[in-house]
């Protein structure tokens, strides 16, 4: 029988969330802690635990059919190895958010990317940086560094950097100023762009349907409340991402019970608005699984 292989980061920022999302899709693995190959039980999907940089390469080389990796790495490897193509992003996963930003020393009087023309830019993402700057008509000299990119301007080995940022504290600590966001990235599920054999494609489709359910459930809430019957239309409008709520009579009362799955985030403001049109006993519950 066919099996699929998914590569995820062995240890790093994406590891826990990558494994977590696969487990929530119902995948179980037999493994010993230090092994790099985890055999899938129940569902024929096995796991490979590797360096994140290796994931796009393994997909391009046909070592595995699926991989979870930051869009930044997938784009870099595709540009470097394959003219910017070769992998398909099947689903963004909503974690590992960061941005690739161009930053310059605080005291350097540069106001636009164009002023960096011909300058040296230190980065771990030379191909992506060149491509993104190229789209804006700027050509730079990329100085490739695998880590500690932020110290390059201080050392005099580069004029600016292009690096991943999430809060910006590393930049500030190194007296760098974020000049422009070049690219926004998050973790995503990738596969090679070449077609899979039928059996593997069917397995992949099943996994993707489960994944969709898991990701939607993560955002969704089950909302229950009581309300006057005449407020039904207003309440339906106020429930985020709801078209047809379930409506039930309340024994011995002229009020009704309304139940609905909100597929968008429910904020306190939504609940306050519901209360203002007469809703009471409002309960918001997490949704664990969804298959639509
Ligand atoms: P590996 O040992 O697997 O090569 P790594 O050190 O290259 O690990 P991590 O630092 O674990 O990688 O980052 C993995 C991914 O997490 C990045 O490629 C990026 O997509 C994402 N990420 C999210 N926030 C940040 C951030 N502030 N800095 C760097 N990467 C981030
Ligand atoms: Mg890496």
Residue-wise pLDDT tens digits, 253-276? 989 999 999 988 889 999 999 999
Q: What ipTM goes with this model? A: 0.97
Q: Which ligand is nearest to the CA of 69?
A: 1
pLDDT tens digits, one per residue of 138-161: 999 999 999 999 999 999 999 999
**CA-to-CA distance for 208 and 236, rounded, in angstroms?**
30
- Quick one: 148 and 82 in the same domain? no
Q: What is the spatial distance between Cα 149 and Cα 34, in angstroms, rounded to a whole number? A: 30
Ligand 1 atom nearest 70 alpha carbon: 20
Same domain, 224 and 151: no
Paired with 87 in beta bridges are 192
Considering the domain architecture, whether residues 118 and 257 belong to the same structural domain is answered as no
Distance CA 15, CA 69 (A): 10
Ligand 1 site, residue 14, Cβ cutoff 6 A: yes
What is the distance in A from the centroid of ligand 1 to the CA of 13? 5
Give pLDDT, residue 107.
93
pLDDT at position 292 over 80: no
What ligand has the least distance to the C-alpha of 50?
1
Parent domain of 21:
4-94+187-217
Instruction: Say how far apart CA 224 and CA 245 lie, in whole Å.
Output: 10
- Residue 130 has what pLDDT? 98
Quote the ligand 2 centre to 142 CA distance (angstroms): 18
Whether residue 85 sits in one domain with residue 21? yes
What value does the mean pLDDT take over residues 275-290?
94
Q: Are strands 66-70 and 4-9 parallel, antiparallel or unpaired?
A: parallel
Residue 142 lies in a domain: yes
Tell me whether residue 76 is in a domain. yes
Mean pLDDT of 124-146: 97
When the pLDDT of each residue in the chain is averaged and rounded to a whole number, the result is: 95
pLDDT over threshold 90, residue 193: yes
- What's the first-to-final CA gap in the chain, in angstroms? 27
For residues 212 and 155, membership in a common domain is answered with no
The protein residue whose alpha carbon is closest to atom 18 in ligand 1 is: 70
Mean pLDDT of 193-213: 96
139 and 175 part of one domain: yes
Q: How many domains, the chain?
A: 3
Residue 175 shares a structural domain with residue 226: no
Q: Let me know whether 125 and 181 are in one domain.
A: yes
Q: pLDDT (tens digit, 9 = 90+) per residue, 13-38?
A: 999 999 999 999 999 999 877 789 99
In a domain, 291, yes or no: no
Give the residue with greater pLDDT, 22 vs 240: 22
Residues 154 and 116 in one domain: yes
């Amino acid at each position: 029988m066919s099996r699929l292989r998914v590569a995820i980061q062995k240890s790093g920022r994406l590891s826990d969330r990558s494994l977590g999302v696969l487990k929530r899709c119902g995948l179980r693995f037999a493994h010993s802690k230090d092994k790099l190959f985890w055999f899938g039980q129940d569902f024929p999907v096995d796991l490979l635990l590797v360096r994140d940089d290796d994931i796009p390469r393994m997909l391009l080389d046909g070592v595995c059919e699926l991989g979870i990796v930051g869009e930044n790495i997938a784009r870099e490897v595709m540009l470097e190895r394959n003219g910017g193509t070769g992998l398909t992003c099947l689903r963004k996963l909503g974690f590992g958010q960061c941005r690739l930003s161009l930053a310059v020393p605080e005291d350097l009087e540069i106001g636009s990317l164009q002023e960096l023309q011909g300058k040296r830019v230190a980065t771990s993402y030379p191909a992506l940086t060149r491509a993104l700057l190229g789209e804006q008509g700027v050509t730079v000299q990329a100085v490739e560094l695998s880590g500690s990119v932020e110290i390059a301007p201080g050392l005099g080995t580069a004029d600016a950097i292009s690096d991943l940022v999430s809060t910006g504290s590393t930049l500030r600590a190194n007296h760098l100023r974020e000049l422009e966001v070049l690219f926004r990235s998050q973790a995503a599920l990738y596969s090679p762009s070449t077609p899979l054999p039928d059996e593997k494609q069917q397995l992949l489709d099943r996994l993707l349907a489960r994944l969709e359910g898991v990701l939607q459930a993560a955002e969704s809430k089950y909302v229950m409340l009581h309300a006057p019957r005449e407020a039904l239309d207003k309440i339906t409008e106020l429930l985020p991402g709801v078209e047809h709520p379930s409506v039930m009579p309340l024994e011995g009362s002229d009020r009704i019970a309304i139940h609905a799955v909100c597929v968008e985030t429910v904020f306190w403001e939504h609940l306050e608005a519901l209360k203002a049109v007469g809703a009471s006993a409002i309960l918001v519950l997490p949704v664990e699984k969804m298959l639509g």
